[in-house]
Structure 1
Amino acid sequence: MSKGKLAKLYTITTAAVLATSLIMPVAPETAHADRGVVDLWKAIKPLTTIASAMNTGAHPDDEHSSMLAYLSLGKGVDTSSVIANRGEGGQNEIGSELGNALGIIRTRELQEASKITNIHLENLSEKIDDPIFDFGFSKSPDETLQKWGEDVAYEKLIRRIRTLRPDVVIPAFLNEPSTHGHHRAINVITVRAFKDAADPNVFPQHAKEGLAPWQVKKLYLPAKEKDYSVKVPVGDYDEIYGASYVQLGEESRFMHKSQGMGRHYDEGPSFNYYKLDQSIVETKDKEADFFTGIAYSFDDLAKEVARQSGGEKVAGELKKLQKDAAEVIAAYPSFASVAKEAHEMLADVEKATAVVEASSLPTDTKTDLRHRLGVKKSQLNKASAEALSLVTKVKPETTELVAGQTTKVTVTAYNGGQAKVGKINLALNVPKGWQAKPQSPTSFSSLGYNQTVKTTFDVTVPSDAALFQPYAAFAITADVSYSFAGSTAISHVTPADAIAVLPSFSMVLSPNATVLNTQKPEEPIPVKVTVKNYNPGAAKTTITLDVPKGWSVEPQAAPLAFEAKGETKSVAFTVKADASVQPNKYTVTAVASGNGKESRHGAQVIRYPHIGTTYFVQPATLAIQAFDLKVPEGLKVGYVSSGFDNIDQYLSQLGVNVTNLSAKDIESGDLDQYDTIVLGIRAYGFRPELIPSNARLLKYVENGGNLVVQYHKPEDKWKPELAPYPIKIGAPLIQWRVTDEKSKVTVLAPDHALFHSPNKITEEDWDNWIQDRSAYNPSEWGKEYTELISNGDEGEKEFTGTYLTAKYGKGTYTYSSLVWYREIPSLVPGAIRLFVNMISPQQ
């Protein structure tokens, strides 16, 4: 069969695979041979070029996915994505996780997205609560860099550039006022880094670490069709992948499910446009691609090296690698032939590296060649495993470990190809202080078709092992080395899911945050501690609560016995505050103790089909905010959740009778039984029964009900006429929000009941808000509404439509863009008082 016919056959098959993958979640850690010839092509295409590119962004999902797919999958360019933070300050469209838990989800989504486009991923944020944190929307790059620590962020970016040594750098966004401050900040430091990464006087400590300066060749900025230097044909259709690069890019974007990313695109021409901003090579107004004027192939590199003193012999070796790469490509799609050619190229890379080291070339040139040959060696290792259909795995007995535990981890190598490999060695990599002892031989003379070799290791976790960090590299990995056709390759293997060291007894307090009403300090706080045993077998512990001085807790201790790992038990405590408790923040901590050990942590399991399983280990605490609060007796509220907030849970803790309304309740239930009905943020976009039932909601108001609607985006199917009097949401959305949580709030209707009943609202109630004031404010509204407040960011026109209320018939309709979903879980006293007033029917 001809290659053309093969390509057509692969196209049909792959198109079916892609069509499915755009709908179904992509499982983590796909096995090597799952996509056969497609994965083989993905592995060998990078051998044809020595070019490299870097895309920088602020948050997970900022990457230019189509362009990255074109460069990496289409051209074989060594492509990297450098993302600043973990997206902790964003919203969540698949669950109620916010803050660090959301950051963990978005990081895993980004990792899976990067696998699809075959790019190298780096984050500037390196740990939980890193200074480079997503603190929410910002309108200013200066504010962003001030909060991140400009030197901290800049040093990390320069370090990534000097480590990865990209020829071309492309920030994902422009530095313009209509853009998120985080996006602008990354643009600012990326543009500045073009020169500074090459300056040895900028962060000179890098040189002491062996990290040499690096001069990027070109820097491009996003542009439009009317003014560009390069247009990237992302709409080109690749027969082998069975999709265009736009479609491949969107396949990766579908991984960002928590942000609602991913779209379906039809086939056809389309382009991304970029404008050259800085360059050290000669350029033209219009360029064929990013790499015009830059060495792209081994032959190009050989010409540059040959012009330098001592470079002729090295140039000869580079030309040989050009020939090798061409032979690898020509051998496709024969797996055995590709494997033979790839291993011959691998041997030549080793030889070229030795020749470079022995040459008299300038130090900078040798450093560059050493890096590029190292990248090529890594690519050839991957190409070898694909071509030989060598499937390597590291399989732990359990992914959930505790300090001091010994477990078993098995490393396997399976040969699914027709070529026999030899000198197989299975090595397990564990952190410093851990022990890994093989229980059987780790070396094997040969491995033929359909054969498997394996070694099981006894792995001992030290008693002082650190608890799991979700942003750290895998704790346990494996390296499988083997020989074929005269050279040795290494397959680096990671487990399918993270192997985590967890607390021996993981504790979760319910509630984990609550209000102590200082008007009723004698009221007890019920606390349930749910304990999960992560020890490998039966275990005993005693649970106590560490409470503030002067507070009491009953019982004082609760012993627990577990028969097996994974067993969960709960104990109930009653906490009482000191009678003279003052308004303040307090913390209650759960403690599990026994056998001379103590645990004060819990492990939140984060599990979704598209990202697998990971964990957020954090202190097992209950946050208590004490302040004065009045809640009407018997207040009955119907809550319509979009799934993006948990305000209903906090209202229940306050003594409000809350019912979560189902679709049936909304469509045909008795709405008049509720004093108030609350719609969660963006509910019209995610509760399909709401729009058809909107007339019922308005009738409920007309009959005397109190309807509270939290903010929406236009894409949430919001239409002005959904409100009893029209409300139009401002656009572009980026300009209709208040990001300064400390911004001054002016009450426009000080006599309105919402500021007096049942709680008297004062200026202090606008203090200590977090992250934002409001989002997606209305730009137009009916004259029937009372404008309750005005508020805006410094130097900007204040919004007066943030908090609107109106009488409609016998009832009240209130629309609010204040970010209640962030403030109330953070126990902001003023926000809670205001919300209680808003859901309390006013006379």
Structure 2
Amino acid sequence: MRKILSFLLLSFLVQCSFSQSPSSYSSADIYLQLKKLNVLGSALYVAAHPDDENTRLLAWLAKERLFRAGYLSLTRGDGGQNLIGDEQGVDLGLIRTQELLAARRIDGAEQFFTRAYDFGFSKTTAEAFEIWNKEKILSDVVWVIRKFQPDIIITRFPEDSRAGHGHHSGSAVLAHEAFKAAADPNRFPEQFKYGVQPWQAKRIVWNTFNFGNTNTISDDQLKIDVGAFNPVLGKSYGEIAAESRSQHKSQGFGVPSSRGEQFEYFKHTEGVPAKNDLLDDIVFDWSRVKGGEKISPMIEEIIRNYSLSKPELSVPALVNLYKALQQLPDGVWKKTKMDETQRIIEMCSGLWLEASANSEYAVQGDSITVGVSINNRLGTNALLEKIGLEQFDTVLQKKLDRNKNLNFTKRLYVNPQRAITQPYWMEHKMLEGSFSVDDQELIGLPQNKPAFAANFDITIEGVSFRFVRAIQYKYTDPVRGELFQPLVIVPSVSVSTEPSIVIFRKTEEQKADVGIRLSANKNFNNYVAKVSKRTKNENSTQVDSSFQLAKGLSKDYIFTISNKQMKELNQDYVQAFAELANGKEEQPAYLSITGIRYDHIPHIHYFYQDAIKVLNMDLKTVGKRIGYIEGAGDKVSIALQQMGYEVTMLKEKDITPSYLKQFDAVITGVRAYNVNDFMAEKYETLMNYVKEGGNLIVQYNTINFISNVRSKIGPYPLTISRNRVTDENSKVNFLLPDHPVLNYPNKITAADFDGWVQERSIYNADQLDVAYETPLSMADPGENDQKGSLVIANYGKGKFVYTGLVFFRELPAGVPGAYRLLANIIALNRKKAF
């Protein structure tokens, strides 16, 4: 059992280092790591989302107090908004996962997650628990605590409404329940067969705050200055925290550095109270380990003799320390400190160990070339015993000379049965509020282990060490220089469909062409390809008897569908399948690859079965030409094209009186006024467009401490509030049932608000001038009706509309009522007598 525990702890520690570019370090960094060897304490910070964590406190814990610091985010932030692109849902969660890992690489903490899905803003803890399955997520929190074994647990939020979000308060409730449950052998006993044991943290505290309109700080709380300057690092913890927090780029959380005193406040909630220091009564030296009394003097001597200019001189003593650690009883701190010591030995030796592939994709049934590079840069007494690359073990028994490169290459065959690189929490169909993960040992981890790894067995000062490196794709960008990306295992061919949605009008018989694209990830010569299109009522197959496709190229197959085939169905899906055969092998294919690329994080890939959503609906449209001003990123313009409109994307230079005249409506993308400074300059031009008979439709903009509107928006006074309706099933009231927006050209009924996803509206308008009409009202359970989700005003000959209705979510999801209502909003101004 103890051996199992040691392995679990090792794998838990090193996961965060996979799939990153090789890290650089200085002698000062090594010195700090040496000091950390004498500290055996840990702290776990718990909150709900990426960016909820206190990076200043985490940096202080990890780099000043030298604790193992961890952040447990219940969710991956899937339901948030995106300032840098149009990704939503799981795509956004993948981005925010990597942003958190980037933040942790800066502040020095470790990162963990539960299986909870961020389903969007929640106003109550009860709603969050109902959707998440409270017991399931509680078990995850307990699991992380039992594995990480924190001495203290810190919550970001209180358990009540002051948290401001049901997920926030829920994270505090779960942390407190897990504080007790993790120590109870009768709670979640199924976890013990995986090597964990009951664990009781010393205390749990709430890190109180003063932001927004909520001040939870009081004089009787524990007060700690975490703003110190670290001369070893050359930075204050406020500066480190700013770098860390600024990694949350998708949320627009870039912040300035802070220097000087920075106080954090803590309210005791359970366990042994802390009187003077957060770490009161916690034993965090070697006396907590049996036999550890001989370890501390060895570390202190290494620190005394450490040379910044010649760190390699410390290697013999570090190897002796490693051997002494081996003699200790198995346990958390033995394995943790052995791992840390091995890393420091590697750093002091100046060892460069690299395994890189010549392609980003490792294709099932194909081969990749892997280059191995080794350099003993400081001349440590080191012998390279062997290198293990999957099925190859190369025995070398070669002495590593000082600063000499040792390079060689190998071809690795990728077994066709080797699993593709799918984020582990996306391998199975998710439930409404949580991901499905069957493997207990994966729960809590931030990401997958690498697709392939290389083992370097090196003897240093007579002791054998195994150093593991993820095999990564290495390339040179002409602007950014040498880069590394995760190596991804992919199928030999990927299958995608186009377009994402087809809209048929029930009132007439219609046809549409849809495309199935096969993309080759390896060379195909003399294959037979069977490409099939499947719907509920009709299947068809095209046979390509001479399928030839070079790696990296694609081939399209066009099929025709009609609403006549749908019969009584209001919606359907077109699914795509392919079979490729050459007489020797048959390869089924149906998965599409999604790639997400931003410069500040590693490339992201995942796989799914692509499909075309087909809607057969009663949809009428009036008007033809739409001008669209992009905002922070959405897919509304694509939906407009699918509705039959001609959409022109407008740049700043296009927003002129003469150019706008041609459009039946001008629509601004989500948060357009937040991200486009030129909107203030174009206010008069847009108002003149409305006055002369145009229709300006403004989708939601935010008003908060990171993103504000610096321009007037409407022709009459209005403010943007933070009011929202988060229950996507909430009742919608028709306050002006005869208003054209509810009647022309589509008759809007309650049924048009069925099937909405995540929420109804966000950042609704408030404090409206009497000139604005409010045809709708809605509310979350137990709250007063809100009228600001759709506001309309006449101005001159035209119309102005502000809407917080979440069309940016509903249209890509294929919600029929959202299409019908948007068509009516566009048709409000019938200036051209359509």
Question: Aligning the two structures, in what range does the TM-score lie when normalised by the shorter sequence?
Answer: 0.7 to 0.9
Q: 1:538 to 1:222 in 2, by over 3 A?
A: farther
2:717 equivalent to 1:726? yes
Work out the CA distance in 1 between the residues paired with 2:548 and 2:79: 38
1:156, distance to aligned residue in structure 2 (A)? 1.3
SS in 2 for 1:509: strand
Moved more, 179-188 or 495-504: 495-504
**In the alignment, which of 283, 292, 296 is matched to residue 284 of structure 2?**
296
C-alpha deviation, 1:773, in angstroms: 0.5
Segment drifting more, 752-761 vs 623-632: 623-632
User: Does the 8 Å contact 2:621/2:823 carry over to 1?
Assistant: yes
SS of the aligned residue for 2:756 comes to: coil
Is residue 2:231 matched to residue 1:239? yes
The 10-residue stretch of structure 1 (261-270 or 149-158) with the greater mean CA deviation from structure 2: 261-270
1:213 alignment partner in structure 2: 198
Equivalences for 1:155-554 in 2 at 5 Å?
155-178=139-162, 179-224=164-209, 225-227=217-219, 229-280=221-272, 283-284=273-274, 286-288=275-277, 290-299=278-287, 301=288, 314=290, 317-330=291-304, 331-333=306-308, 334-351=310-327, 353=328, 356=329, 370-428=331-389, 436-438=391-393, 441-453=394-406, 456-471=409-424, 472-494=448-470, 495=472, 496-520=484-508, 522-535=509-522, 538=525, 540=527, 542=529, 544-551=531-538
Shift, 1:185, TM fit: 1.4
Q: CA deviation at 1:616?
A: 1.8
- Say whether 1:776 aligns with 2:763: yes
Q: What CA distance in whole angstroms lies between the structure 2 residues aligned with 1:63 and 1:541?
A: 54
Judge which range, 539-548 or 396-405, deviates more: 539-548
The separation in 1 between residues aligned to 2:466 and 2:241, in whole angstroms, is 29
Could you tell me whether the CA contact under 8 Å between 1:541 and 1:592 is conserved in 2? Answer: no
Deviation at 1:563, TM superposition (A): 4.6
How many angstroms apart in 1 are the aligned matches of 2:252 and 2:794? Answer: 35
> Comparing 52-61 with 194-203, which one deviates more in the overlay?
52-61
The separation in 1 between residues aligned to 2:65 and 2:786, in whole angstroms, is 49
Say if 1:539 and 1:754 are closer, same or farther in 2 by CA, change over 3 A: farther
Matched, 1:655 2:644: yes
- In the alignment, which residue of structure 1 is the partner of 2:11? none
Cα 1:597–1:814 shift into 2, 3 Å: same
**Percent identity of the aligned residues?**
29
CA drift of 1:786 comes to 0.7
Output the CA distance in 2 between the equivalents of 1:620 and 1:226: 54
Give the counterpart of 2:615 among 618, 621, 625.
Answer: 625
In 2, Cα distance between equivalents of 1:719 and 1:452? 56
- Determine the C-alpha separation between the residues in 1 that align with 2:649 and 2:531: 33
- Long gaps (5+) in structure 1: 1-25, 126-131, 303-313, 358-369, 431-435
Q: 1:689 maps to which residue?
A: 678
Q: Quick one: distance in 2 between partners of 1:694 and 1:212? A: 63
Q: Equivalent residue for 1:645?
A: 634
The change in CA–CA distance for 1:119 and 1:719 in structure 2 (over 3 A counts) is closer
Q: Distance in 1 between the 2:811 and 2:578 partners?
A: 29
Question: Structure 1 pair 669/598, CA: closer, same or farther in 2 (3 Å)?
Answer: farther
The 2-side partners of 1:427 and 1:227 are apart by 59
Q: Distance in 1 between matches of 2:36 and 2:151?
A: 15
Partner of residue 578, structure 1: 564
Name the TM-score, length of structure 2 as normaliser. Answer: 0.87
Give the aligned residue type for 1:574: T
1:738-796 deviations in Å (ceiling 9; x for gaps): 11000011011111000011100011011110000011122311111111111110001
Contact 1:539–1:564 (CA under 8 A) maintained in structure 2: no
- Structure 2 distance, partners of 1:53, 1:526, is 58
CA distance in 1, matches of 2:528, 2:80: 38
Q: Which amino acid aligns with 1:265?
A: S
Q: Does structure 2 conserve the Cα–Cα contact (< 8 Å) formed by 1:405 and 1:536?
A: no
Look up the SS of the partner of 1:723 in the other structure.
coil
Letter in 1 for 2:259: E
User: Deviation at 1:551?
Assistant: 4.2
Residues 1:328 and 1:538: Cα distance change in structure 2 (over 3 Å): farther
> Residues 621 and 41 of structure 1: is their aligned pair in 2 closer, same or farther, counting only changes over 3 Å?
farther
Supply the AA of the counterpart residue of 1:396: A
Kindly state the Cα deviation for residue 118 of structure 1 after the two structures are TM-superposed: 2.4
C-alpha distance 625-674 of structure 1, shift in aligned 2 (>3 A)? same
**Structure 1 partner of 2:9:** none
**CA distance in 1 between partners of 2:385 and 2:18 (Å):** 28
> Does the aligned pair in 1 maintain the 2:673–2:711 contact within 8 Å?
no
Helix, strand or coil at the partner of 1:339: helix
Alpha-carbon distance, 1:667 to partner: 4.6
Per-residue deviation at 1:509? Answer: 1.5
1:327 partner amino acid: E
Which amino acid counterpart does residue 559 of structure 2 have in structure 1? Answer: F
Residue 390 of structure 1: CA displacement? Answer: 1.0
Q: CA shift at 1:272, angstroms?
A: 2.2
- Is 1:666 the counterpart of 2:655? The answer is yes
Which position in structure 2 is the counterpart of 1:816? 803
Matches within 5 A, 1:109-124: 109-124=99-114
- Number of matched residues? 763
User: In angstroms, what is the RMSD of aligned CA positions?
Assistant: 2.4
Q: 2:812 aligns with which of 817, 825, 829?
A: 825
Post-superposition shift, 1:89? 1.4
Structural mapping, 1:100-139, within 5 Å: 100-125=90-115, 132-139=116-123
From 659, 669, 680, the counterpart of 2:669: 680
Aligned in 2, Cα 1:73/1:536: closer, same or farther, shift over 3 Å?
A: farther
SS at the partner of 2:449? coil
- Take 1:54 and 1:561, find their aligned partners in 2: how far apart are those partners? 55
Q: Is the 8 A contact 1:719 1:728 kept in 2?
A: no
Give yes or no for contact 1:757–1:842 (8 Å, CA) kept in 2: no
**Offset of residue 580 of structure 1:** 6.0
Question: For the residues of structure 2 that align with 1:498 and 1:279, how far apart are their CA atoms?
Answer: 42
SS at match of 2:281: coil
| Contact 1:526-1:574 at 8 Å conserved across structures | yes
State whether residues 794 and 800 of structure 2, in contact with CA within 8 Å, keep that contact through their aligned partners in structure 1. Answer: yes
Aligned CA distance change for structure 1 residues 446 and 97 (closer, same or farther; 3 Å): same
The amino acid of 1:796's aligned partner reads E
Amino acid at match of 2:486: A
Q: Which amino acid aligns with 1:442?
A: V
Provide closer, same or farther for how the CA distance between residues 541 and 607 of structure 1 changes in structure 2, counting only shifts above 3 A.
Answer: farther
Q: 1:214 Cα deviation (Å)?
A: 0.6
Cα shift readout 1:288-324 (whole Å, capped 9, x = no counterpart): 2x2111012224x26xxxxxxxxxxx3xx31221112
Q: Are 2:157 and 2:208, in contact at CA under 8 Å, matched by a contact in 1?
A: no
Write the distance in 2 (CA, Å) between the matches of 1:619 and 1:482.
44
Q: Is the Cα contact below 8 Å between 1:505 and 1:534 reproduced in 2?
A: yes
- What is the CA deviation profile of residues 241-298 of structure 1, one whole-angstrom value per residue up to 9, with x for unaligned ones? 2221122122122222111122112422212222221124xx45x422x211101222
* 2:283 maps to amino acid: A
Contact kept, 8 Å, 1:404 with 1:461, in 2: the verdict is yes
Gap change, CA 1:332 and 1:573, over 3 Å in 2: farther
Distance 1:659 1:53, change over 3 A: same
Q: Label 1:209 to 1:344 Cα distance change in 2 as closer, same or farther (>3 A).
A: same
- 2:73 pairs, out of 48, 71, 83, with 83
Partner of 1:787, secondary structure, is: coil
Moved more, 648-657 or 106-115: 106-115
Q: 1:807 aligns with which of 788, 794, 807?
A: 794
Asked whether the 8 Å contact 2:683–2:711 carries over to 1, the reply is no
Q: Residues 416-467 of structure 1, C-alpha deviation per residue, up to 9 Å, x if partnerless?
A: 2232323544234x5xxxxx224xx334342122123456555333323333
- Mapped to 2, the partners of 1:228 and 1:320 lie a distance apart of 41
* Maintained 8 Å contact 2:669/2:698: yes
